[in-house]
């Protein structure tokens, strides 16, 4: 099932720091006022390059379903961890954890 592919994709991202960094740099960009925008088409393409098969609709479904929260804290903690270490040069906002959709 493709929803499971999305979940596994995010579990892998949460467990592999280098892979998450590539995802972060290729699929997200910082908007105004510290908000983050994630390009769904780029995320689907990034996942496909790694062998995962899911659509933008399936990605959104996992993002917004209530039981997907098990994988989000891990990815979010990686993002906070990276921000606290100051290793992302392009992150200069006071509140970079806000996420928007593109």
Task: Specify the pLDDT at position 34.
Answer: 83
Count of domains forming the chain: 1
101 versus 2: which is more confidently predicted?
A: 2
Task: Specify the pLDDT at position 73.
Answer: 46
Tokens of 9: 């994709």
Least confident residue range of 20-24, 75-79, 84-88 = 84-88
Domain interval for residue 79: 2-101
Give 18: exposed, middle or buried? Use CB within 10 Å, 0-12, 13-18, 19+.
exposed
Give the pLDDT confidence of 43-57 residue by residue, as tens digits: 999 999 999 999 999
Q: For the chain, what percent of residues have pLDDT higher than 90?
A: 54
Tokens of 1: 């099932």
Task: Specify the pLDDT at position 102.
Answer: 42
Quote the pTM value. 0.65
């Amino acid at each position: 099932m493709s929803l499971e592919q999305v979940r596994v994709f995010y579990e892998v991202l949460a467990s592999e720091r280098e892979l998450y960094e590539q995802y972060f740099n290729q699929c997200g960009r910082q908007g105004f006022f510290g908000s983050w925008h994630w390009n769904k088409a780029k995320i689907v393409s990034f996942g496909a390059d790694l062998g995962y098969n899911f659509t933008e609709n399936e990605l959104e479904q996992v993002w917004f379903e209530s039981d997907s929260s098990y994988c989000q804290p891990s990815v979010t903690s990686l993002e906070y961890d990276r921000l606290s270490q100051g290793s992302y040069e392009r992150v200069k906002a006071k509140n970079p954890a806000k996420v928007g959709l593109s």
